[in-house]
Amino acid sequence: MSAHEDVVHSTVTGVDNRKLSMWVLIASECFLFGSLIVNYLINRDRGLAGPTARQIYDIDITTLSTFDLLMSSVAMVLALHACQNRELQKFRFWTGMVVLGGVIFLGFQFYEFSHFVHLGLGLTTNVFGSSFYLLTGCHGAHVFLGVLWMSSILATSFVRGENWFPSLPLEVAGLYWHFVDVVWIIIFTVVYLFVYI
């Protein structure tokens, strides 16, 4: 985070460069997750060995983790709101909640992965498993990066003290966080809820 972080530069479109570039990155990620999801759909029923999707998915757990990620998104908007209103305690609290939500989600994912491995579905067991792990693993990596990002903001807040309100960096991080959430919304429906179709 540079010294100029909260100066909104005058730009032609009126959108700060950092914010616009995050949206452009999100545009790119649409194609990234698009190809991963399609690859999963194509390979879902092509596994020649090992368990199938219907045998191992646990919808209750996944619904909980979906709920958790949605709530972390709520925390995110509240953190941003507090930051913009220069409410230090709320800003720190909700940023912490975002981190917590992300960590819980990763915990769910760790549990899910180890459970699946226990049930006999490894990365290389069959193409269904490979596609599943590639898609959800890639999403999980995004969540992990988001957690790192949000915790660095939280840490910086404690270092920089009570007059540091990084509205714009937080908003950019928030866009990233919400997009990761949006991807999960689609994954939840297409991967988990459509498993019997």
Partner 1 sequence: MAKNLPRTGIISWLTTVDHKRIGIMYAVTALIFLLFGGTEAMLMRTQLIIPNNNFLSAGTFNGLVTLHGTTMIFLFVMPLSAAFFNYLTPLMIGAADVAFPRLNALSYWIFLFGGLLLNFSFVTGLLPDGGWFNYANLTGKQYSPSHAIDFWLLGVQVVGLASLIAAVNFFVTILNMRCKGMTLLKMPIFVWTTLVTQVLLILSLPVITVALFMMTFDRTFGTGFFDPGAGGQVIMWQHLFWIFGHPEVYILILPAMGMVSEILPTFSRKPLFGYSVMVYSSCAIGFLGFAVWAHHMFTTGLGPWAQALFSAATMLIAVPTGVKIFNWISTLWGGQLRFTTAMLFAVSFIAMFTMGGLSGIMHSSPPIDYQHQDSYFVVAHFHYVLYGGAVMALFGGIFYWFPKVTGYYLSETLGKIQFWLYMFGFNMTFFPMHFMGLEGMPRRIFTYASDQGWNFWNVLSSLGAYTTAIGGIVFFVNIFWSLKSGKKASHDCWDGRTLEWTLSSPPPEYNFAIDPEVRSLDDWWHQKYDGEGNKRTARVQPDVDPSTKHVPNPSFWPMVLAFGILVLASAPFFDAQGIPLALAGVVIMLVATYGWSFEEA
Partner 2 sequence: MVKSEKSKHATVKLYWIFAGILCVITLVEWLIFRNEELRSNATFMVPALSILSLMKFSMVCGWYMHLRYDNKILMKVFGFSAFMAAVTFGILLLAI
Interface residue list for partner 2 (CB under 8 A)? 8, 10-15, 19-20, 23-24, 26-28, 30-31, 34-35, 37-38, 41-42, 59-60, 63, 66-67, 70-71, 73-74, 76-78, 81, 84, 174-175, 178-179, 181-182, 185-186, 188-190, 192-197
Rounded to whole angstroms, the Cα distance separating 109 from 118 reads: 14
Nearest Cα neighbor of 183 from 78, 28, 53, 59 is 28
For residues 185 and 140, give the distance between their C-alpha atoms in angstroms, rounded to a whole number.
Answer: 13
Round to whole Å and give the CA distance between 70 and 34: 21
Residue 22 phi/psi, 5-degree rounding, is -65, -40
Residue 17 in the binding site for partner 1 (CB under 8 A): yes
- Numbers of helices and strands, H then E, in the chain: 6, 0
Neighbours of 139 (CB within 10 A): 22
Instruction: Using CB under 8 A, pick the residue from 55, 114, 124, 189 that binds partner 1.
Output: 124
Min dist CB 110 to partner 2, Å, is: 21
Q: In angstroms, what is the minimal distance from the CB of 109 to partner 2?
A: 17
Alpha carbon distance 62, 42 (integer Å): 22
Nearer to partner 2, 81 or 122 (CB): 81
Of the residues 7, 46, 85, 194, which one makes contact with partner 1 according to CB under 8 A: 46
- Residue where the block lists tokens 């709920």: 67
Question: Binding partner of residue 159 among partner 2, partner 1, none, CB under 5 to 8 Å per kind?
Answer: none
Backbone angles phi, psi at 177, to 5 degrees: -60, -45
Using the rule CB under 8 A, is 180 a contact of partner 1?
Answer: no
**Which of partner 1, partner 2, none does 141 bind, CB closer than 5 to 8 A by kind?**
none
| Shortest separation between residue 17's beta carbon and partner 1, angstroms | 4
Q: Site for partner 1 (CB under 8 A): how many residues?
A: 36
Nearest alpha-carbon partner for 160 in 47, 24, 1, 28: 1
* Beta carbon of residue 158, minimum distance to partner 2 (angstroms, whole number): 24
Binding mask 126-145 for partner 1 (x = CB under 8 A): xxx-xx--x-----------
